[in-house]
Amino acid sequence: MSSAHVKPLGGAAAGNVSFLAGRIPPAIEIMSKYMKDLDKELFRKILKVVVTAIEGTDCCDALGTIAESCDVPEEKLSSVVAGMHELLRVALRLPPSTLKQEGFREDLRELRISEEYISDFVSVVFGSRREALDIVASQQGPQLPHMDDFTWRVDVAISTSCLGRALQPSILTQIQLSDGTRSHFQVSVPKFQELRYNVALILKEMNDLEKRGVLKIQD
């Protein structure tokens, strides 16, 4: 590996943060070298596959197809794919408030990527698909199971073996969690009120937190 580059990147305008934080990862550097050898169509095919991979779909087959149909040596192809993946991963990690479009373009120019390829990268990071990519990213962190499905039924017990006239309502609940587990239980009316009250309380706390500009944490 060549001597550690501390190559200053970043837009000419002051205040633009270099999205690579001062050091170019080797994968990206190699990629930018090989990019010149790719024709536009191939580049776009690879970009499409890389974005699909970031979205979470398995892309082995798609990449295999590309490898077979073009005459770029496998090693070069792998480097380009790795570089593009790394570049997008790092860029997508930063919120649009931190990494602005112009700054990103400038950074890519510094990497000596040609203008038309820059536009393609920009459309991934700042385009319509960004929201969907963000959702996928948010689900990748460590987390507890989320609620996939919540079904319920309100029952009124008319009579039981102990009480001729009970007329007692209760709620039967089934929760399906994202980890596949299912919970089935009954909630008495007072407990239900407690649950509802607590959820409302948490929502209020969340609203307050979001309004208060969050403990002065700056972007």
In the numeric block, which tokens belong to residue 103? 């700054």
Nearest in space to 47 (alpha carbons), one of 71, 10, 39: 39
Is residue 195 at the binding interface for other proteins, with CB under 8 A as the rule? Answer: yes
Is residue 21 at the binding interface for other proteins, with CB under 8 A as the rule? Answer: no
Is residue 126 at the binding interface for other proteins, with CB under 8 A as the rule? Answer: no
Instruction: Report the residue number, 37 or 197, with the smaller CB distance to other proteins.
Output: 197
In the numeric block, which tokens belong to residue 182? 């299912």
Which listed residue (32, 71, 93, 126) binds other proteins by CB under 8 A?
93
Is residue 170 at the binding interface for other proteins, with CB under 8 A as the rule? Answer: yes
Is residue 131 at the binding interface for other proteins, with CB under 8 A as the rule? Answer: no
Cα atoms in the 13 Å half-sphere on the side-chain side of 160: 9
Three-state SS for 73?
Answer: coil
Closest approach of other proteins to the CB of residue 200, in Å? 7
The number of angstroms, rounded, from the C-alpha of 132 to the middle of its chain's C-alpha atoms is: 7
Which listed residue (147, 180, 211, 216) binds other proteins by CB under 8 A?
147
Question: For residues 182-200, b (16+ Cβ closer than 10 Å) or e, as one string?
Answer: eeeeebeeeebeeeeeeee
CA distances, 139 to each of 100, 127, 133, 144 (Å): 24, 20, 10, 10
Is residue 141 at the binding interface for other proteins, with CB under 8 A as the rule? Answer: yes
Q: Which residues bind other proteins (CB under 8 A)?
A: 89, 93-95, 97-98, 134, 137-138, 140-147, 150, 152, 154, 156-157, 160, 162-166, 168-173, 175, 177, 181, 183-189, 191-192, 194-196, 198-200, 202-203, 205-206, 209-210, 214, 217, 219
